[in-house]
Amino acid sequence: MSKSLKWLFALMLAMLLVLAACGNNTAGDDDQKKDDPKTETEDPKDDEKEDEEEPVEDDGLYSIDDFATSKTNEGEAIEGGSLTFGLVSDTVFEGTLNYNFYSGAPDAEVIAWFDESMLYTDGNFTFTNEGPAEFTTEPYETDEYPNGVTFTFKIKDNVNWHDGEPVKAEDWAFSFEVIGHPDYTGVRYGPDFSNIVGMEEYNAGEADTISGIEIVDEKTLKITYKESQPSLLTGGVWSYAMPKHIFKDIPVAEMQESDAVRKNPIGMGPFKVKSITPGESVVYEKFADYWRGEPNLDEVVLKVVSPSTVVQALQTGEVDMVDSFPVDQFVDNADMSNVEWLGITDLAYTYIGFKLGHWDAEAKKVVMDPDKKMADVNLRRAMWYAVDNNAVGEKFYNGLRWQANSLIIPPFKDYHNADVEAPTYNPDEAKKLLDEAGYVDVDGDGIREDKNGEELVINFASMSGGDVAEPLAQYYIQSWAAVGLKVELIDGRLLEFNAFYDRVGQNGEDDPNIDIYQGAWSTGTDVNPYGLYGPDQMFNFPRYESEKSSELLAAGNSPEAFDVAYRQEVYKEWQELMVEDIPVFPTLYRAVLIPVNNRVLNYAIDYGSTMGRHELAVTQEEPFKHE
């Protein structure tokens, strides 16, 4: 037996050695990395950035300003070539490959390669005339709808579906007919559609046609909206057509599951679908008749890459680029030699919300409740002062998430108020506010009691799933404890996303035990925050309303607000009001990082970029590999 004992020990020892060796190597790598994290991001830059880069040295911190938004082109493009695009996802893509029916974000990425919007947008997310269709507007004034507007769209001549059929006005009108149809199975129908004259009657099954939509001729479409709003120009008009000649014989209720959506979808984009391996990958080939010109690449392969293997896939050139790189893995891979890192501010923010009321399902609006634990604005402000989001951004996210100050995010360049005076980390101020507001520690246990001297325990709901979700939530709890507030995770753990949204109130049944929560919003391209903070909005999770806020929100989307200066003024005021009232406070803005293989040319990620995917090219047949 002693022999076998020796064997086991030897085995253990060997394992330890191997592991130790692993550790040593990688530790070495780490050190190296720290020495030259900058060289990579510096290269593509022009001189003007030079001085900004100083603070980034050595401390492992990055800033979104250090990233380019378009790929540096080095080398000559070759004729044709194939590019592999990685779709970073834990799950498969569902395969509902039509803009009118999809619901998952991965599907949108798949569709984007073969279909496109009829209207392009600029850097302010406003529709332009650069896309497959041009538009003009004219006021529409009747007694019923004094503030209406009529859009006239003209589809450009050379825009064709992949099967050679021209894209016609009826194709676009058909999208509205399908989405508005009583049998429609998707999620797209909403206020953007019911705002069309005659849409509600059609949706209720009372009318066979939508009176506000008129096909003028083969290439001209007129749509009349009841209310003219600036939001119409930032995504409020449904801009995706569907090929009527293919879908016309399929009953609306069955379209979503039809082969035209799932197996052989067609679009008008630069690439057409060649083959689909359900959930895993799609192969596209170029669509030579693309209206903006023949694409450079012969073929594009899209495949799902798990976030846990994406680094290796990039290093080995298995994928040339991805839709979005898991930012928490960037620091360890900043020196990847075969890619260039592009980065941009994401259309999203993280925030802490305070429950100030409940949802009245009858009246379909929020009702504030002055007895709520968080009803005192000074308590809310103190909690804002108590957290150091700067440190959170730097330490947890290496600067790739950073302190937020306003609920209108920086990418909305015209409207984001960078100067709004939001509280920043100041625990003394927090304590002072609490003392003044009457939240004092009466029994001497180091924890503040509420105004009546009774125990105050604030229940905090936070979602699991993100990479540092748990330490982040714990950090906030600790920060609040440091100013004397007792905050506890509800149920003592993070909530899984279904449970989280259920209890925060996605169907109006808020869990009354939740006092505060940490959430995140992806804003979409419309600056208008009404959908999240309007008094009759289900997604107004803090259940906050005030006359002032409602007024400003309404003004911000009124016909007058087509005047940018006016709208800026309104939203500036609203952002200030939110810092005053604090129904929620924004914590972090975030970066999207996209690594692109050095062989790829003509790729840009900035909002409103006119660079199309048909311009993509490669400089050599095989991707570069990381050395």
| Residue nearer to other proteins on the CB measure, 140 or 247 | 247
Q: Does 91 bind other proteins (CB under 8 A)?
A: yes
Helical axes 469-482 vs 389-397, angle rounded to 10°:
150
The verdict on 363 binding other proteins (CB under 8 A) reads no
Name which of 187 and 554 has its Cβ closer to other proteins: 187
Please report which helix (H) or strand (E) contains residue 253, including its range: helix 252-255
Answer yes or no whether residue 2 interacts with other proteins by CB under 8 A: yes
Binding of residue 308 to other proteins (CB under 8 A):
yes
- Contacts with other proteins in 504-563 (CB under 8 A)? 506-507, 521-524, 526, 531-532, 537-539
Cα(407)–Cα(614) distance, rounded to whole angstroms? Answer: 36
Which of 13, 19, 288, 564 is close enough to bind other proteins by CB under 8 A? 19
Distances (CA, A) of 366 to 292, 361, 546: 48, 9, 10
The Cα–Cα gap between 495 and 490 comes to 8
Q: Which of 16, 216, 457, 554 binds other proteins (CB under 8 A)?
A: 16
**Please, what is the minimum distance in Å from the beta carbon of residue 304 to other proteins?**
7
- Under the binding rule (CB under 8 A), the answer on residue 605 touching other proteins is no
Cβ 17 to other proteins shortest distance, Å: 12
Interface pick for other proteins out of 190, 205, 251, 453 (rule CB under 8 A): 190
Binding to other proteins by residue 260, rule CB under 8 A?
Answer: no
Is 42 near other proteins (CB under 8 A)? Answer: no
CB of 256 vs other proteins, minimal distance in Å: 5
Task: Determine which residue in the list 29, 65, 138, 218 makes contact with other proteins, applying CB under 8 A.
Answer: 29
SS (H, E, C) 382-416: HHHHHCCHHHHHHHHHCCCEEECCCCCCCCCCCCC
Which CA distances in Å does 51 have to 41, 60, 75?
Answer: 14, 17, 28
Let me know: does 134 contact 286? Beta carbons within 8 Å: no
Kindly list the distances between the CA atom of residue 145 and the CA atoms of 1, 142, 152, 198, 212, in Å, as whole numbers in the listed order: 93, 5, 18, 12, 12
Nearer to other proteins, 146 or 191 (CB): 191
Q: Could you say which of 311, 527, 596, 616 contacts other proteins (CB under 8 A)?
A: 311
**From CA 37, how far away is CA 335, in angstroms rounded?**
6
Instruction: Tell me which of 378, 464, 602, 609 binds other proteins, using CB under 8 A.
Output: 464
Report d(CA 25, CA 17) in Å as an integer.
12
Q: Please tell me the distance from the alpha carbon of residue 473 to that of residue 468, in angstroms, as a whole number.
A: 9
Q: Which residue number, 333 or 598, has a Cβ lying nearer to other proteins?
A: 333
Contact between 252 and other proteins (CB under 8 A)?
Answer: no
Biggest CA pair distance of the chain: 99
Q: Smaller CB distance to other proteins: residue 430 or 490?
A: 490
Q: How far is the CB of 174 from other proteins (least distance, A)?
A: 19
Closest CB to other proteins among residues 94, 569: 94
Site size for other proteins, by CB under 8 A? 103
478 forms part of the interface with other proteins (CB under 8 A): yes
Interaction of residue 28 with other proteins, rule CB under 8 A: no
Asked whether position 474 contacts other proteins by CB under 8 A, the answer is yes
Q: Which alpha helices (H) appear in 483-626, and where do they start and end?
A: 497-504, 530-533, 547-556, 564-581
The footprint of other proteins on residues 370-389 (CB under 8 A) is 388
Residue position matching structure tokens 């957290």: 387
d(Cα 235, Cα 429) in Å, to the nearest integer?
Answer: 42
We find the least distance from the C-beta atom of residue 215 to other proteins, in angstroms, to be 26
Exposure on the CB side of residue 608, measured as CA atoms within 13 A: 15
Nearer to other proteins, 104 or 166 (CB): 104
By CB under 8 A, the residues from 168 to 187 that bind other proteins are: 185, 187
| Three-state secondary structure readout of 165-190 | CECCHHHHHHHHHHHHCCCCCCCCCC
Q: 94-113: which residues touch other proteins (CB under 8 A)?
A: 94-96, 101, 103-104
Which is closer to other proteins, CB of 88 or CB of 167?
88
Is residue 494 close enough to count as binding other proteins by CB under 8 A? yes
The secondary structure of 283-348 as a DSSP string is EEEE-TT-TT---S-SEEEEEEE-TTTHHHHHHTTS-SEES-B-GGGHHHHTT-TTEEEEEEEEEE
Name the segment binding other proteins (CB under 8 A); options: 67-75, 420-428, 461-469, 614-622: 461-469
